[in-house]
Amino acid sequence: MKAQRQAKILEIVRERIIETQEELAAALRAEGFEVTQATVSRDIKELSLIKIPGENNTSYYASPDEPVLRRGNEDRLRRLVRMSLTDINSSENLIIIKTPPGEAQGLASAIDQSHWPEIIGTVAGDDTILIITKPKEITPQVVQRFLELARG
């Protein structure tokens, strides 16, 4: 039962934002596990769950093997793409994003921190970001992903 419960805890924290032990206990109860806060606390310790900074001075539980800031960074990236992306173009494995003056470096930082595996890296100026992808065949999908983030 303990192994099943702990496997369910890992599944829950991967799929949604859980900020408190009480939220985790409620999620487990909804899945049919009868737990107390003390049991949840022990499971968190045994699973070595960590708290990751989220939006608006919040934090949430995550497995230590997950990329740090994965959800927070994706939310930040979505927000910055919506606010800053004015144009996007590509050639081979290069993507160029245009932004208003002064906004390229913040957006490039959010792209880097989002850890998309197909993006090797970024170089940012004042209003332009160069994104290098690998393999080059993935470039159209990456461009499409940015366009979807821009649409909301």
Exposure letters 109-119 (e unless 16+ CB within 10 A, then b):
bbbbbbeeeeb
CATH number of the domain residue 27 falls in: 1.10.10.10
How many whole angstroms separate alpha carbon 64 and alpha carbon 10? Answer: 10
pLDDT tens digit at each of 152 positions of the chain: 899 999 999 999 888 889 999 999 999 999 999 999 999 999 999 999 888 766 667 778 888 776 554 555 677 788 889 999 999 999 999 999 999 999 999 899 889 888 888 999 999 999 999 999 999 999 999 999 999 999 97
Task: Give the residue from 19, 43, 62 where a domain finishes.
Answer: 62
Chosen domain end from 38, 62, 86: 62
| Rg (the chain; Cα; Å) | 19
143 and 108 fall within a common domain? yes
What pLDDT does residue 61 have? 87
- Say if residue 15 is in the same domain as residue 86: no
Write down the pTM of the prediction. 0.56
Boundaries of domain holding 91: 70-151
CATH number of the domain bearing residue 133: 3.30.1360.40
Number of folded domains in the chain? 2
Q: Is the separation of the CB atoms in 51 and 61 below 8 Å?
A: yes
Q: Is 63 exposed, middle or buried (0-12, 13-18, 19+ CB in 10 A)?
A: middle
**pLDDT recorded at residue 71:** 52
